[in-house]
Structure 1
Amino acid sequence: MSRTDDDALRAGAGAQESLDRALERAAAAGTLLVALDFDGTLAPFTADPGESRALPEAQSAMEALLQEQDTYVAVISGRPMAFLRSVVDPAGRMLLSGSHGAEVHLDALGDAAEDMELRLSPEQQQLLAAATALVQQQVARWPGSLLELKPTGAAFHTRTMDDQSRCAQAEQEMVEAFEQLDGLRITPGQHVVESSVHSATKGEGITAFMQATGADVTLFAGDDVTDENAMRELGPHDVGIKVGSGQSVAAHRVAGPHELAAALTRLAGLRAGR
């Protein structure tokens, strides 16, 4: 083994030890909030976004955490609330934030909870229609690309494009087209360019959950640039986990959804045994 390989092994072991300590600290919290992104975090990416599902191990870990006292599980996603309620949490036991923080569902807190209802002004509705038309034009130009309609925006997906070597070009063109529309928030991601007529972010979603639950410790995990808004809301005693590659303010990192599922399973075991 080379010295470089040896150094890499030590660094990996140190990172895992640091994450293990963070999970132990989170598990011991009086009130724990476990907030998670969906695509690329709980669920591997799929060609058809509608077919995406959380990994069985991750789903089992969330179910186990929900059994514990003073423990809340939240999903904070760019997905619309309808998808989160029907696919991610049909039993209605989780806190949900959809459309990048624009929709918040708090029914898991009890009868006193109220949803933060999403309302678009006439101007926002017009802007949404214009953004949707731009994505439709781009989809016609790039075979295999997809339009995803959301309550607050339109997303351009390139993961299914016929010519994968031109994804970056297609995404850049989409950004430039969106930039023609004043007031539209543009968020490039992994094989996607999202637009929104609403100014909400995932940071607002996680802040709402932290305040509503009174969490002593919040653990948040996410994989994309939009998740960094939530990471920045975490305090010094909270736990941020970046899933996959890319820059992040998170103190911890795992390679992908399977590794995160393993971390959630460990957290659930520690929480049960406290």
Structure 2
Amino acid sequence: MAATARPRRSVLYMPGSNARALEKGRTLPADGLILDLEDAVAPDAKGTARATIKQAIAAAGYGGRELVVRTNGLNTPWGYDDLVMAASSGADAVLLPKVESADMVRQAEVVLRANGSPDSQTIWCMMETPLGMLNAKEIAGASPKLGGLVMGTSDLAKDLHAAHTRDRLPMITSLGLCLLAARAYGLAILDGVHLDLNDDEGFAASCRQGRELGFDGKTLIHPKTIAACNEAFAPDPDEIAFAHRIIDAHAAASAEGKGVVLVDGKLVENLHVENAKRVVAMAAAILALEG
């Protein structure tokens, strides 16, 4: 599925076994919530978490927030039952952990479709292992049901024996490979989490870098980071105003038979208009969500 103008600036992980947290999610200003059955849930609580998530989604009240269920892998004792539940849960998407091949996507898709997953429910893939990085292209093109990629930078750093540096140079190749794959196949893509909740400056730098690289937004581990993340990944008023000027000026030039035009001293052609329309559409989508 092609990526849409749906806001995904901030997507917060929430433990699926914590009913109070899932209730609080209805009031948080995050664009999306990942209701987690994997890392955040102890083995003996998997079944309870499954039921808790299904009940929370059925109770509604999440507004326009995108709801994503992260399952355990099909190679675990819980993965199949997770997918069966997620298929009919009403979640917008199902997030598969540690995806390393197109076959892993297709196997999950078979289970989802067999258990009533609607066409509107997409599959997202956690990209968090070296093999996943090397197979990013085939994963991104694995299924028309695929909606997005999510970077799992914590697990990736562990497997790479890499350091968590401010500039993230040890992971820049991996981030780039996944960005290329996502954009080549029209998918959304979210940056990984920032682990140090006391490092506000580092978090801001990570958001800036993520947006500069081309990510649609960032995954988060605490509600206190939502506001800063939303601001970092949203077009600002000057950007929106400039986008409108580009669209209007190019339309006027086209009406006169001209293919290019100067806007604020900058040469504008079709490719700039496409980007300007994307900015305007995203700004409108954010306004609608927050409204």
Q: TM-score, normalised by structure 2?
A: 0.30
Which gives a bigger RCO, structure 1 or 2 (Cα 8 Å, sep 6+)? 1
